[in-house]
Amino acid sequence: MATFGSDDSAVLDVLFGRFPPAGRLPLALPRSMEAVENQKEDVPGDSAKPLYVFGFGLTYRADAPAR
Contact 40, 46 (CB under 8 A): yes
The total number of structural domains in the chain stands at 1
Q: What is the pLDDT of residues 13-67, one digit of tens each?
A: 988 989 888 888 888 899 999 998 998 888 887 888 899 998 888 777 655 555 4
35: helix, coil or strand?
helix
Residue 10 lies in a domain: no
> What confidence score (pLDDT) does residue 33 get?
92
Contact 39, 46 (CB under 8 A): yes
Q: Domain range holding 41?
A: 24-61
> What confidence score (pLDDT) does residue 67 get?
44
Contact 55, 29 (CB under 8 A): no
CA-to-CA dists, residue 7 to 2, 17, 29, 57, 60, angstroms: 12, 16, 26, 20, 20
Q: What is the pLDDT of residues 5-27, one digit of tens each?
A: 889 998 899 889 898 888 888 88
Residue 51 lies in a domain: yes
pTM of the model: 0.56
38: helix, coil or strand?
helix
